[in-house]
């Protein structure tokens, strides 16, 4: 019986969607702009990487062709020179918003057809009733931040006062999110998680997509840095996803990275949550080694987004793409006859773009495996086509809301 592997390269978009202007993102193009920056020398960093963007394995799967189909141009350095080895196309998000739950839920067959709640870009950002309740229920001396901010910037700004006062740092962005940063040692990691659970309950009536725990360590003198113990407290998907369908059928499910958090730990099977792209990819590849027939490994590689996209770090993002590309042969080697692997993304986060937020973009869909015929799969009018194709490949009926490719 065939098996499937889906790897979400978090934020690796390939060109502004048709409605990008509604989000202030007309012209955004994560992969295309990184490739141009590398061509022009803006992707160089001593000791990290130099020169044009080099993604030979992804290009052989059709990445450059998918970019061309999305934007009308092949990014520099991504021209196909050898044999095509994958089925390629691009996805169009139909969900409202451009955040992680929207993209992942749509991949899983549940597009978001409602409006998320958002916090205004004012100071303070959060309703007084929310913060008063959080302070009371969390037994806090107060909170810091209470505004839109970059996660690293606000820790630098408020970290010392947080350690001194015990007040957690609360902030948001253009996404439907409340983030709470606290020092792992002086505040306590489990206490931070418990506080985020309280915030999740308080945010439910406001239709906020996620509450995110952002632990950090360090000192004001030596600097603060975030740790790998981030935890997302997402609201439940509003309908059954393909994970629910697989669970009902008794299929093996392994979720890697923050997939479990994104789906509120519903039908997410065996959850593995290492820290960083390399560890998550290793875990996904290892899971394929023991995955039962008819099963699914579903992985998210978050560093593209959290470490490089939001931080507008072009060389770092380029180096992360190249590091992933070098391991594509390992992914292929983990597949056996009948298996399907899909590499895709959930949104964009163009590191050349203004601000620090996600960008509304098309996403690549690169499919490969023994017996998967190379060639175009075209423009997919919803990310949900990915979930439908996965279910069909595993021998299960797909949703009527999605369309299959050959």
Q: 176, 211, 233: which is the final residue of a domain? A: 233
Query: Is the Cβ–Cβ distance between 129 and 142 less than 8 Å?
Result: no
Which CATH number covers residue 11? 3.40.720.10
Cα R_g (the chain), whole angstroms = 21
Q: What confidence tens digit (pLDDT) does each residue in 32-51 have?
A: 999 999 999 999 999 999 99
Measured over the CA atoms of residue 376, residue 112, residue 280 and residue 174, the dihedral's sign is positive
Shared domain for 229 and 245, answered yes or no, is no
Q: Exposed/middle/buried for 294, CB within 10 Å: 0-12, 13-18, 19+?
A: middle
Let me know if residue 403 belongs to a domain: no
Let me know if residue 402 belongs to a domain: no
Shared domain for 266 and 167, answered yes or no, is no
Query: How many other C-beta atoms are found inside a 10 Å radius of the C-beta of residue 361?
Result: 34
The DSSP letter of residue 282 is H
177 phi/psi in degrees, rounded to 5: -155, 145
Shared domain for 276 and 255, answered yes or no, is yes
Q: Is the peptide bond before 43 cis (omega within 30 degrees of 0)?
A: no
pLDDT at 156: 96
Shared domain for 260 and 171, answered yes or no, is no
Query: Is the Cβ–Cβ distance between 68 and 79 less than 8 Å?
Result: no
Q: Provide the CA 77 distance to its chain's centre, in angstroms.
A: 25
Distance CA 262, CA 8 (A): 12
Shared domain for 46 and 192, answered yes or no, is no
Let me know if residue 122 belongs to a domain: no
Q: Predicted confidence band at 399 (pLDDT cuts at 50, 70, 90)?
A: low
Q: 233, 255, 290: which is the final residue of a domain? A: 233
DSSP-assigned states of every residue in 23-83: GT-TT--HHHHHHHHHHTTTT-BTTTB-SS---HHHHHHTHHHHHHHHHSSPPTT----S-
How high is the mean pLDDT of the chain? 96
Q: Predicted confidence band at 398 (pLDDT cuts at 50, 70, 90)?
A: low
Query: Is the Cβ–Cβ distance between 131 and 141 less than 8 Å?
Result: no
pLDDT at 8: 98
Let me know if residue 120 belongs to a domain: no
Residue 320 gets the label, from left (phi > 0), alpha (psi -120 to 50) or beta, of alpha
Distance CA 319, CA 321 (A): 5
What is the pLDDT averaged over residues 162-167?
Answer: 98
Query: Is the Cβ–Cβ distance between 2 and 394 less than 8 Å?
Result: yes
Q: How many domains, in total, are found in the chain?
A: 2
Shared domain for 10 and 51, answered yes or no, is yes
User: Domain residues for 184?
Assistant: 128-233
Structure token pair of residue 188: 């306590």
Shared domain for 223 and 134, answered yes or no, is yes
- Alpha helix (H) ranges present in 52-183? 56-61, 63-71, 100-107, 128-138, 151-165
Three-state DSSP string of 328-341:
HHHHHHCCCCCCEE
Residue 16 pairs in a beta bridge with 361
Query: Is the Cβ–Cβ distance between 315 and 43 less than 8 Å?
Result: yes
Let me know if residue 330 belongs to a domain: yes
Let me know if residue 400 belongs to a domain: no
Let me know if residue 72 belongs to a domain: yes
pLDDT at 397: 75
Shared domain for 253 and 369, answered yes or no, is yes
Cα 275 to Cα 258, 281, 304, distances in angstroms: 10, 10, 13
What is the pLDDT averaged over residues 228-235?
Answer: 95
Query: What is the percentage of the chain residues whose pLDDT exceeds 70?
Result: 99
With tokens 């391991």, the residue in question is 327
Record the pTM: 0.93
Shared domain for 163 and 226, answered yes or no, is yes
Let me know if residue 179 belongs to a domain: yes
Shared domain for 281 and 206, answered yes or no, is no
Which CATH number covers residue 175? 3.30.70.1250
Shared domain for 254 and 387, answered yes or no, is yes
Shared domain for 298 and 382, answered yes or no, is yes
pLDDT at 404: 75
Q: Using the predicted structure, report yes or no on whether residue 351 has a pLDDT greater than 80.
A: yes
Query: How many other C-beta atoms are found inside a 10 Å radius of the C-beta of residue 386?
Result: 25
Q: 207, 233, 259: which is the final residue of a domain? A: 233
- Alpha helix (H) ranges present in 242-371? 242-248, 259-262, 277-290, 303, 314-326, 328-333
Residue 245's contacts (CB-CB under 8 Å, 6 or more residues apart) are 109, 391, 396
């Amino acid at each position: 019986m065939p098996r499937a592997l889906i790897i979400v390269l978090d934020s690796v978009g390939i060109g502004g969607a048709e409605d990008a202007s509604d989000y202030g993102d007309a012209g955004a193009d994560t992969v295309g702009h990184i490739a141009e920056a590398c061509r022009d020398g803006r992707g160089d960093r001593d000791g990290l990487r130099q020169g044009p963007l080099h993604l030979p394995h992804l290009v052989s799967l059709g990445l450059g062709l998918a970019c061309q189909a999305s934007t009308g141009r092949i990014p520099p350095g991504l021209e196909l020179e050898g044999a095509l080895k994958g089925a390629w196309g691009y996805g169009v998000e139909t969900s409202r918003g451009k955040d992680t739950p929207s993209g992942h839920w749509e991949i899983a067959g549940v597009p978001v057809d409602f409006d998320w709640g958002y916090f205004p870009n004012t100071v303070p950002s959060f309703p007084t009733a929310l913060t008063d309740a959080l302070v009371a229920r969390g037994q806090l001396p107060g909170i810091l931040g209470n505004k839109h901010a970059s996660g690293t910037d606000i820790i630098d700004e408020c970290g010392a006062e947080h350690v001194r006062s015990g007040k957690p740092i609360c902030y948001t962005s253009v996404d439907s999110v409340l983030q709470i940063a606290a020092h792992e040692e002086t505040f306590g990691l489990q206490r931070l998680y418990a506080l985020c659970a309280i915030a999740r309950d308080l945010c439910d009536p406001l239709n906020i997509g996620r509450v995110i725990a952002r632990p950090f360590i360090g000192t004001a003198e030596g600097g603060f840095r975030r740790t790998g113990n981030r935890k997302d407290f997402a609201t439940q998907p509003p309908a059954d996803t393909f994970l629910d369908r697989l669970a009902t059928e008794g299929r093996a499910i392994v979720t890697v990275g923050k997939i479990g958090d994104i789906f509120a730990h519903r039908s997410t099977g065996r959850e593995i949550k290492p820290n960083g792209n390399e560890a998550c990819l290793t875990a996904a590849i290892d899971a394929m080694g023991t995955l039962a027939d008819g099963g699914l490994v579903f992985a998210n590689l978050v560093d593209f987004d959290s470490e490089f996209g939001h931080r507008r770090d072009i060389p770092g993002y380029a180096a992360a793409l190249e590091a992933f590309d070098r391991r594509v042969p390992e992914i292929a080697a983990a597949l056996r006859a009948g298996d399907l692997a899909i590499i895709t993304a959930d949104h964009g986060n163009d590191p050349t773009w203004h601000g620090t937020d996600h960008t509304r973009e098309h996403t690549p869909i690169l499919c490969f495996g023994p017996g998967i015929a190379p060639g175009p799969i075209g423009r997919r009018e919803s990310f949900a086509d990915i979930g439908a194709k996965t279910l069909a490949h595993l021998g299960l009926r797909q949703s009527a809301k999605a369309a299959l490719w050959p």
